A and B are shown apart, each in its own frame.
Chain A
Amino acid sequence: MNSDLVLVIVVATALAFDFTNGFHDTANVVATSISTGAAAPRVAIALAALLNFAGAFISLAVAATIAKDVVDAEAIDSLNIIFAGLIGAITWNLITWYFGLPSSSSHALIGGVVGSTVVAVGTGAVITDGLVGKVLIPALVAPILAFLIAGIAIGFSYRIVGRLRPGPVTRGFRFGQLISGGMLALAHGTNDAQKTMGVITLALIANGNLGSDASTPFWVIISAATAIALGTYSGGWRIIRTTGTRIIKMDSAQGFSAQGAGAAVILASTHFGFPLSTTHVINGGVMGAGAGKRISAVRWGVAGNIIVAWILTLPAAAAIGAAAYGCTRIFGTGALGPVLVSLMGISLIAAAFGRRHQRGSPVPAS
């Protein structure tokens, strides 16, 4: 009974993380469409939310990676470990959201779970092969790949349409961005929603509700899809400004190539079960599309700040996850620790939102 209560708290926290993931990553999905004028913000966000929901049903390869290839589910002797990992991820997501940095929700989640696992049961429970081979190496390769693809693609594109009248070309690529932006939203849904599915599946395995070789239950899929779609719809206006306009001023052809590169990399990676960061990939694509036109068009200072956030995410979320486990452990291995930490977290989040609300919305929502 006691562990079932903790399981309910873990599932609720995982869905809350999924919501913040959508909320945090909205910018990555829609910023290019908005900044080039391909879609109005509300339309772009509504479309992204809908396709996020649909994308969550496409594949389960990433969920399997998170549930079985990052930490040893059988070594996790307390659901409090997974709870603490989620707290680490949510906290880091909100910190970077507050400061307008598009860091990786995915790496925050993996960092949080690894940090709390290491503190609770030692480094032996971390599956190094899976962590390095399926998370860290693809994390390094993916944004570079998106950068190169977008850069090469925009080069070809300018060769094909460069001498035509700009008006029709702009309108053509704006139309194309409805497709490329839609594919990016679908890709985001399929890769990111699966991470929450993976964590909930991991909790169900650790709690004995599922066997270690079980697949993700349907109720987990639909609840994760709903949470990320609601989070996406709720938006992330502050981060939209960073990704859409502060990295590079884009034309619609660049927006198309950036979104196309991002969608291609995320969908291909998802197919092989690599839990990527949409943040890393789309920012790589945006910078590649900018550099493909003119290296100096990219605001490298802003890009540098984002890279710093990328580098910090795994260790910072791991440290917060470890600290959160320490806090829950003070109250034993039962439900009291997660309940108190949840209440504290909700209070802090409410305070942050209140402060954010007082300072006003940075970008108009229409």
Chain B
Amino acid sequence: MVATIVETKELLQTVAASVIAGVGVTIVFSIAVYGATRFADLSRDDRPFAATAAIVTALVAFAACIAAVVVGIVVMTHK
């Protein structure tokens, strides 16, 4: 009875999308913060190659966060 009332498929899709977006974006943004912070530290220590790698990591991760937000909004508006 309950199984027929509950929209199981939609609910599971909601759970999956929420977990991927909620946990994923936080992890990727943490990587961006890590990269930016390491860039500052490595630049101060005069390690340009490592600093460049850190800032590239930060920028890629930040771009991925923005992309996730944009994709989320586009998906919302196309139903």
Partner of B69, one of A168, A179, A271: A179
Check B33 against A173 for contact (C-beta < 8 Å): yes
Check A267 against B76 for contact (C-beta < 8 Å): yes
For residue B40, CB closer than 8 A to chain A, the reply is: yes
Over the window 26-63 of chain B, the binary record of Cβ atoms lying under 8 Å from chain A Cβ atoms (1 yes, 0 no) is 11011111101110110000000000000000000000
Residues of A within 8 A of B17 (CB): 264, 268, 271
Check A132 against B6 for contact (C-beta < 8 Å): yes
The number of chain A residues with a CB under 8 A from chain B is 50
Check A183/B69 contact, CB under 8 A, given A129-B5, A169-B37, A271-B75. yes
Q: Closest Cβ of chain B: how far from A85's Cβ, in Å? A: 22
Partner of A134, one of B2, B7, B65, B69: B7
Partner of B33, one of A138, A161, A180, A186: A161
Check A168 against B7 for contact (C-beta < 8 Å): no
Residues of B within 8 A of A256 (CB): 26, 29
Check B22 against A150 for contact (C-beta < 8 Å): yes
Distance A277 CA – B34 CA, assembled complex (angstroms): 33
Check A160 against B69 for contact (C-beta < 8 Å): no
Distance A172 CA – B31 CA, assembled complex (angstroms): 11
Check A59 against B14 for contact (C-beta < 8 Å): no
Residues of B within 8 A of A206 (CB): none
Check A160 against B34 for contact (C-beta < 8 Å): yes
For residue B64, CB closer than 8 A to chain A, the reply is: no
Q: Closest Cβ of chain B: how far from A194's Cβ, in Å? A: 12
Closest Cβ neighbor of A281 among chain B residues = B18
Taking each of B29, B73, B75, B79, which has the highest tally of chain A beta carbons within 10 Å of its own beta carbon?
Answer: B29
Distance A164 CA – B10 CA, assembled complex (angstroms): 40
Residues of B within 8 A of A160 (CB): 27, 30-31, 33-34
Check A270/B30 contact, CB under 8 A, given A149-B18, A165-B41, A168-B36. no
Partner of B14, one of A154, A172, A179, A272: A272
Check A264 against B21 for contact (C-beta < 8 Å): yes
Partner of A274, one of B4, B14, B76, B79: B14
Q: Closest Cβ of chain B: how far from A297's Cβ, in Å? A: 18
Residues of B within 8 A of A272 (CB): 7, 10-11, 13-14
Residues of A within 8 A of B10 (CB): 272-274
Check A168 against B11 for contact (C-beta < 8 Å): no
Check A133 against B41 for contact (C-beta < 8 Å): no
Check A59 against B5 for contact (C-beta < 8 Å): no
Closest Cβ neighbor of B36 among chain A residues = A172
Q: Closest Cβ of chain A: how far from B35's Cβ, in Å? A: 10
Closest Cβ neighbor of A163 among chain B residues = B34
Residues of B within 8 A of A59 (CB): 76-77, 79
Check A161 against B37 for contact (C-beta < 8 Å): yes
Q: Closest Cβ of chain B: how far from A156's Cβ, in Å? A: 5
Distance A165 CA – B40 CA, assembled complex (angstroms): 11
Over the window 83-102 of chain A, the binary record of Cβ atoms lying under 8 Å from chain B Cβ atoms (1 yes, 0 no) is 00000000000000000000
Residues of B within 8 A of A137 (CB): 5-6, 11
Task: List 13 interface pairs A-B (beta carbons < 8 Å), by A numbering.
Answer: A132-B6, A152-B23, A157-B27, A160-B30, A172-B33, A173-B29, A176-B33, A179-B66, A256-B29, A261-B22, A263-B22, A264-B19, A268-B17
Interface contacts beyond A133-B5, A156-B26, A261-B18: sample of 4 additional A-B pairs, CB < 8 Å, sorted by A: A133-B7, A156-B27, A173-B29, A256-B26
What are the nearest 5 A-B pairs in CB distance?
A172-B33, A264-B22, A153-B26, A149-B22, A264-B21
